[in-house]
Amino acid sequence: GNSVTQMEGPVTLSEEAFLTINCTYTATGYPSLFWYVQYPGEGLQLLLKATKADDKGSNKGFEATYRKETTSFHLEKGSVQVSDSAVYFCALNVNNFNKFYFGSGTKLNVKP
């Protein structure tokens, strides 16, 4: 079947630390991959996406590379800020159909 597994949180980092949030997927067809972010008190919003293998999505200093060989789409940022504190969701779409599969979310806390 189709599913997304992401690392459990919370993840607590100091400002300027390096961030990795792991995401792996299983898909029965051709996947597109997404990261969404939910800041405190706000709705989910798209952070970045990649629609084919080896593509790198990037936005606001965050990056994720679609790795078909490892079925992964890990989120990274070189230097986190307090303002990056949020819940991050990895998501999958298969064959450009209209059903999206979301992971359980990873809460990131960045301390000054």
Per CB under 8 A, residues contacting another protein are: 4, 32, 34, 36, 42-46, 49, 51, 89, 91, 93, 96-105
- Cβ-based nearer residue to another protein, 10 or 78: 10
Distance from C-alpha of 13 to C-alpha of 19, rounded to nearest angstrom: 8
- Cβ-based nearer residue to another protein, 48 or 110: 48
- From the CB of 14, what's the least distance to another protein, in Å? 26
Closest CA to 61 of 42, 43, 48: 48
Burial (CB count within 10 angstroms: exposed 0-12, middle 13-18, buried 19+), residue 102:
middle
Q: Which residues pair with 9 in a beta bridge?
A: none
Task: Please name the residues in contact with 9: beta carbons below 8 A apart, sequence gap of 6 or more.
Answer: 87, 105, 106, 107, 108
- From the CB of 38, what's the least distance to another protein, in Å? 8
- Cβ-based nearer residue to another protein, 17 or 22: 22
- From the CB of 31, what's the least distance to another protein, in Å? 9
- From the CB of 52, what's the least distance to another protein, in Å? 11
